[in-house]
Each structure stands twice: as structure tokens, then as C-alpha cells.
Amino acid sequence: MCEANAYLQSNDQEVLLMESVDIIEPYEEGLKLVDIFGRQKFVKARIKDMTLLDHRIVLEETAEDDGDPSVSKTSSMANVERG
């Protein structure tokens, strides 16, 4: 069987999203995944990397609509004075 596992990469972490994926196709702003049992998942992501021999599909969140709390905009305000 040549199905693959789909991982969702988010903030440098990979989370197993779906096992035994058979079908992948674009769906609206993301992807539709269907596993070998016919179960479907819709995810707002795009394919980042795919290695079929490793049975491995890495998806990358597109995350356009949710407010991302992980983004902290701390700008380092160190003012270095030059002599």
C-alpha cells in the first residue's frame, strides 16, 4: 500500500495530521485529504514537501484568517550609541 502520512508544520513543529492518506486535492483555500478508509479532512494548508518513498507529506499552514497568537512582535529597542 502506498498511502502516506500527512504532517502539518506549524511554528517549526510537525504534527501528524492524518495517517494513510490516499488522495490530496486542492479545496477552496486549502487542501482536501482523503485516507484509505474514505475519511476526509479539510485543512487550510499547502504542500511544503512530499517524499513518496518515505510515505511522508509535509503541509504548511496557510493560516490567513485566524489571529495568530504565536506571533509576538517584540522589537529589540537597544539603542547603541556610537562614540
> Which residues lie near its own copies (CB under 8 A)?
1-4, 21-26, 36, 46-53, 55
C-beta closer to its own copies: residue 12 or 54: 54
C-beta closer to its own copies: residue 46 or 74: 46
Q: Which uninterrupted H or E stretch holds 13?
A: strand 13-27
Beta strands at 30-35 and 45-51: parallel, antiparallel or unpaired:
unpaired
Residue 22 has, within 13 A of its CA and on its CB side, a CA count of 8
C-beta closer to its own copies: residue 15 or 46: 46
